[in-house]
Amino acid sequence: MSDRKVTKIGVLTSGGDSPGMNAAIRAVVRTSLYHGLEVYGVLRGYNGMVEDDIFKMESRSVANIIQRGGTILKTARSKDFYEYDGRKRAYDNLKKRGINGLVVIGGDGSFNGALRFSKEFDIPCIGLPGTIDKDIAGTDFTIGFDTAVNTAVEAIDKIRDTADAHDRLFIIEVMGRDAGYIALHSGIATGAEHILIPERKTDIESVIASLQEKEKRKKLVNLIVVAEGDEFGGAEQVARVVKEKMPNVDARVCILGHIQRGGSPSCIDRLIASRMGYHAVECLLTGKHNVMVGIQNNKMHYTPLENAVKAKQKINEEWMRIVKILAS
């Protein structure tokens, strides 16, 4: 807690974009205005802070954006912000406007920047978990994850139709960097026979043995969902090994890529983004500073930023057992 009174709030989006960021921006702006605070948008993340690309926002600034993907504030990575001189310029740009509170919507890298900035210049920061990867501890969902998973599920369902028509094996790569949640959730939801994620060591020989056993049973339609950060090397590498071991299998690769990052946010993402944005402003007003706003068991949960950047979500063992049993 802190007794510092926040009167002007800056809001920015940083790191990779995710569906629902606009809903969070809208909630921050309108909650700030409701409480009589001034609110400023920072364009292109920390870059905009360093380069003084900051503008005052009004209620109409966020009209008709809740349904839009991406972020109206743009996002970028800032090399200058890694250096103290860059952060000092950013602080000076906030100070001349009287901005004394900051809401950062992004992932763990964004929170790292916010934590360092806050410690150096005594600007209270609130983090909102905006990332499709769901790789941040302290919240059951991150803004954008639900939309990304639904996008992947829709695509994989369509791929299964083609797989079924041609008796093919499809190896589908989804996003997630070094987190396997999109692969896990979309793989279970689409009935994938195998799900390969970075959190578990890939036993490729076991995968091959399973495919060979299914081939004997004349089960020719198989889906393997691979997280892009899987330690084995992604869909292309898995396909190469499968073709070496099973040359008669018609195996195809499909990399879903950035379609998972775009698109209109789902209802869940709009709701959690709105809720988190509202509580971010409430935190700054009540002196609950330098925390990440999350939701656990449908209740607001506040994680100190220093813990949010250190911890990672862990895959529940129950999920892995479910994958094994349902794919058998």
The torsion defined by the Cα of 33, 55, 9 and 135, in degrees rounded to 10, comes to 110
Residue 270, marked binder: no
Residue 205, marked binder: no
d(CA 52, CA 91): 10
Residue 110, marked binder: yes
Does residue 35 contact residue 281 with C-beta atoms inside 8 Å? Answer: yes
Residue 260, marked binder: yes
Residue 258, marked binder: yes
| DSSP, residue by residue, 231-263 | TT--HHHHHHHHHHH-TTS-EEEEE-GGGGT-S
d(CA 125, CA 113): 10
Residue 228, marked binder: yes
Task: Tell me the angle at which helices 84-95 and 108-121 cross, rounded to the nearest 10 degrees.
Answer: 70
Q: Is 135 a catalytic residue?
A: no
Least Cα distance to 296 among 275, 319, 315, 270 occurs for 275
Residue 191, marked binder: yes
Residue 160, marked binder: yes
Query: Phi/psi at 108 (nearest 5 deg)?
Result: -65, -35
Catalytic residue among 52, 53, 85, 133: 133
Residue 175, marked binder: yes
Residue 308, marked binder: no
Does residue 142 contact residue 130 with C-beta atoms inside 8 Å? Answer: yes
The amino acid at 237: Q
Residue 97, marked binder: no
Binding residues for substrate: 131-133, 168, 175-177, 228, 252, 258-261
Annotated binding-site ranges: 16, 26-30, 77-78, 107-110, 131-133, 160, 168, 175-177, 191-193, 217, 219-221, 228, 252, 258-261
Q: Which residues are known catalytic residues? A: 133
Q: Which parts are annotated binding residues for ATP?
A: 16, 77-78, 107-110
Residue stretches of the annotated binding site for ADP: 26-30, 160, 191-193, 217, 219-221
Q: Which residues are annotated as a binding site for Mg(2+)?
A: 108
